[in-house]
């Protein structure tokens, strides 16, 4: 194994495996009081789509992202999909793209990335993905570690990725909050943040947390220690949530009483004082309320089943298991519990919990009714070729006797991750009203030879293979010698 792979594995072992911000996940229920310095909620998205010309993509083979395939046109107006179908009329002044012989899909969504938090180059100063000082750190937010200069964002864009979830690593039982970003060039992470998308909570099963902390002689050092750790954290969160609910009840009563007692005849009682804010428990309380979506690193089938019980005990929902190498063993259970699984096409064997990986995993997880199979990268290399990874998984499934046409397989990269991130109303499908996140491929994307020719985000042409670079290179790459070279 090359040095790169060794370094890669060591990272892997701990790394993991356009609406108003109505409920800006940054605001916990208990942060209502801070004095705002502006109208904008702290940490909220500052992304605004630039105006874009109306665009008609004409005559391509369209995979809608939701399971349909048709030959026809995609019309983009004001950054949104206006219509999808045959023989659409181009509005006056519209840019018309000839897609004859080419394929059109929604922008790819990678639900598991560490771009920005484990960026290239892999320098010590930029290794910000794992807060390995305590096994339970729901107080940390991946977005505060993002280095927007990571050149990996550009190479991912060239692979058609328009939206990604960036998570903390997997060294901790509870690693912190994740963030959903648009793959747009920006100087600040806030300007990449997907407007209105809820944050996630990264949790991790298995070998990584027990190895990291066990080797320090502290808990957890076993799988049972892992589970005790999650349970105690959520027991504390339940208690914390009750204290706040009690306070809010008392405050409401106090305010009501004061309002009724306008003359001030009654005794003046001081208002109830709020409980002390705890940033860790804020996050977990938001999980209990369903405002933060749990994304859980979990390889083994038996551990997934354990975690579903933990979630049931404390009344929260696990949205998806990531790196779910053994998901095929519990495909029916996952479908029945409405839990998604994010998987690789062919990773296996790099640790014991990955030893049972098979290349038909995604196809088998996809098979039951109500399933939610997804392909993820967890890699700055894999994210550039998710279409090829899906092609591998699809062909393996077909070889195993499953009927998986491209229009079905593309859902692993589009609609399904959009659902798991709670952004399926905005993106992930080529349907009227959705954000115009669109990729035009030079041919069938389920091929090693396929390249993204053009990538649109909210109707803006962000990458154009015929005229690179359609997007500026990252600050870091500016002025480096010979990075472009001479042909």
Partner 1 sequence: MRTYASRKMLLSALALLVATAAWGQDSAHRASDDAVKTADVLIRGAKVYTVSGRGTLEQGDVLVRGGKIAAVAASTENLQAPGASVVEAKGRALTPGIFAGLSHIGLEEISAESSTVDATLDFKAPAWDQKWRPEFDVTPAFNPRSTLIPVVRNEGLTWTVLEPASGDSIIAGQGVAVTLDGTLGVASRAALEGSRSLFVQLGSAAESHSGGSRAAAYMLLDQAIGEARSQGAIGQDALLHPAGRAVLARYLSGGRVVFAVERAADILEVIAFAERNHIKAVVSGGSEAWLVAPALARAHVPVILNVLQDLPTDLDRLSSRLDNAARLQRAGVMIAFSTGESHKAGTVRQLAGNAAAHGLAWDAALAAITANPADIFGLGATRGRIEKGQAADLVLWSGDPLEVTSAADQVWIDGRAFDMRSRQTELLHRYRGAKAR
- Contact flag: residue 485 with partner 1 (CB under 8 A): yes
Stretch that binds partner 1, among 169-177, 229-237, 288-296, 326-334 (CB under 8 A): 326-334
Report the distance separating Cα 310 and Cα 325, nearest Å. 20
Nearest to partner 1 of 93, 121 (CB atom)? 121
According to the 3-state scheme, what is the secondary structure of 419-455?
HHHCCCCCCCCCCCCCECCEEEECCCCCCCCCCEEEE
How far CA 323 is from CA of 17, 98, 299, in Å, comes to 6, 38, 6
Report the distance separating Cα 40 and Cα 29, nearest Å. 17
Stretch that binds partner 1, among 29-37, 56-64, 240-248, 381-389 (CB under 8 A): 381-389
What tokens were used for 437?
A: 């996140």
Closest contact distance (angstroms) between CB of 282 and partner 1 is 34
The residue within the footprint of partner 1, chosen from 381, 422, 425, 464 (CB under 8 A), is: 381
Nearest to partner 1 of 68, 258 (CB atom)? 68
- Contact flag: residue 380 with partner 1 (CB under 8 A): yes
Q: Of 218, 195, 271, 221, which Cα lies nearest the Cα of 26?
A: 195
Nearest to partner 1 of 240, 328 (CB atom)? 328
Nearest to partner 1 of 254, 476 (CB atom)? 476
Closest contact distance (angstroms) between CB of 414 and partner 1 is 16
- Contact flag: residue 323 with partner 1 (CB under 8 A): no
- Contact flag: residue 122 with partner 1 (CB under 8 A): yes
Closest contact distance (angstroms) between CB of 158 and partner 1 is 9
Which residues are bridge partners to 294 per DSSP? 201, 318
The residue within the footprint of partner 1, chosen from 127, 402, 425, 465 (CB under 8 A), is: 402
Report the distance separating Cα 416 and Cα 59, nearest Å. 26
Residue window 273-312: x/- pattern of binding to partner 1, with contact defined by CB under 8 A: ----------------------------x---x-------
Closest contact distance (angstroms) between CB of 277 and partner 1 is 39
Q: How far is CA 283 from the centre of its chain?
A: 17
What tokens were used for 448?
A: 């090693």
- Contact flag: residue 358 with partner 1 (CB under 8 A): yes
Show Cβ contacts of residue 349 under 8 Å, excluding neighbours closer than 6 positions: 355, 357
Report the distance separating Cα 457 and Cα 438, nearest Å. 7
Report the distance separating Cα 320 and Cα 339, nearest Å. 5
Stretch that binds partner 1, among 133-141, 191-199, 426-434, 476-484 (CB under 8 A): 476-484
**Could you give the angle at the alpha carbon of 169 between the alpha carbons of 326 and 337, nearest 5°?**
40
Residue window 66-105: x/- pattern of binding to partner 1, with contact defined by CB under 8 A: -x--------------------------------------
């Amino acid at each position: 194994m090359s040095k790169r792979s060794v370094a890669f594995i060591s990272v892997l072992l701990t790394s993991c495996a356009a609406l108003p911000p109505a409920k800006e996940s940054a605001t916990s229920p208990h942060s209502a009081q801070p004095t705002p310095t502006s109208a904008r909620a702290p940490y909220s998205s500052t992304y605004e789509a630039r105006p874009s010309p109306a665009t008609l993509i004409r005559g391509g083979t369209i995979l809608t992202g939701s399971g349909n395939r048709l030959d026809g046109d995609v019309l983009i107006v004001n950054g949104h999909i206006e219509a999808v179908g045959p023989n659409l009329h181009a509005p006056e002044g519209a840019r018309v793209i000839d897609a004859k012989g080419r394929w059109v899909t929604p922008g790819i969504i990678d639900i598991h990335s560490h771009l920005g938090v484990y960026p290239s180059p892999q320098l010590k100063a930029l290794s910000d993905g794992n807060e390995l000082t305590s096994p339970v750190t729901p107080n940390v937010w991946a977005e505060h570690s993002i280095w927007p200069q990571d050149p990996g964002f550009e190479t991912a864009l060239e692979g058609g990725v328009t939206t990604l979830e960036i998570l903390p690593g997997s060294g901790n039982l509870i690693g912190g909050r994740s963030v959903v970003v648009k793959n747009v060039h920006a100087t600040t992470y806030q300007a990449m943040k997907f407007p209105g998308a809820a944050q996630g909570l990264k949790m991790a099963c298995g070998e990584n947390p027990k190895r990291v902390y066990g080797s320090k002689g502290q808990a957890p050092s076993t799988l049972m220690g892992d589970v005790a750790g999650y349970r105690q954290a959520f027991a504390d969160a339940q208690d914390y949530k009750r204290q706040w609910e009690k306070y809010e009840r008392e405050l409401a009563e106090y305010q009501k009483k004061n309002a009724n007692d306008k003359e001030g005849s009654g005794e003046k009682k001081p208002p109830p004082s709020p409980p002390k804010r705890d940033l860790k428990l804020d996050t977990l309380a938001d999980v209990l309320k369903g405002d933060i979506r749990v994304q859980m690193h979990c390889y083994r089938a038996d551990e997934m089943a354990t975690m579903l019980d933990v979630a049931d005990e404390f009344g929260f929902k696990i949205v998806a298991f990531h790196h779910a190498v053994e998901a095929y063993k519990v495909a029916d259970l996952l479908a029945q519990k409405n839990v998604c699984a994010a998987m690789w096409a062919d990773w296996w064997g790099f640790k014991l919990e990955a030893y049972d990986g098979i290349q038909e995993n995604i196809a088998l997880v996809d098979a039951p009714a109500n399933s939610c199979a997804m392909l993820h990268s967890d890699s700055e290399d894999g994210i550039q070729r998710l279409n090829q990874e899906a092609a591998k998984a699809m062909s393996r499934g077909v070889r195993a006797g499953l009927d998986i046409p491209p229009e079905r397989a593309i859902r692993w990269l589009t609609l399904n991750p959009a659902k798991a991130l709670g952004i399926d109303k905005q993106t992930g499908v080529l349907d009227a009203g959705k954000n115009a996140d669109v990729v035009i491929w030079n041919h069938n994307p389920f091929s090693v030879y396929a390249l993204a020719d053009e990538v649109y985000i909210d109707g803006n042409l962000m990458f154009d293979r015929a005229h690179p670079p359609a997007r500026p290179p990252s600050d870091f790459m500016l002025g480096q010698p010979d990075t472009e070279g001479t042909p």
